Homo-oligomer: A and B are copies of this chain.
């Protein structure tokens, strides 16, 4: 993931269209593949998490303290997220998806309760369990793979929603 477009680089220069696609993927994301570093072994570990994009806060997850990925994030908050639905047909590698580099930070669960449960009502079954907390992902960088020949490096600013 180089910075911006360079001669002979497969990375295109970021434009408004790329930012809009990436913002839409983030806004629509119901789950993500979360990559963390396992604290015992140093290996990467990828698991599925639930996500909600909360305007004014950012991309969030509801996570149990008892999970291995939560333990990994406590030891090392550096993580990566892959988001973007698979297409119903066609080559899935020619369909847009977004890789984020981020750090995970705890946020006030009570303050986001209504927003989270409005977006994910089925999680009401366990939202209030004491071991569940909400983490916010602070984005360091993004990489949009919009399909063949459509790759873009993105900054946190590129991923901010435009003023409504």
Contacts and interface: CB of A to CB of B under 8 A. Distances in A.
Interface of A: 1, 10, 30-31, 33-38, 41-50, 66, 68, 78-82, 84-86, 90-93, 97, 99, 101, 120, 122-123, 126, 143, 145, 148
A143 B41 CA distance: 15
Contacts of A97: 47-48
A35 B30 contact: no
Nearest to A102: B43
Contacts of A145: 47-48
Given A10-B66, A33-B33, A92 B50 contact: yes
B44 A122 contact: no
A88 to B, nearest CB: 11
14 contacts: A10-B66, A31-B86, A31-B92, A33-B82, A37-B37, A43-B79, A43-B80, A44-B78, A44-B80, A45-B80, A45-B101, A46-B80, A50-B91, A90-B122
A45 B93 contact: no
B123 A47 contact: no
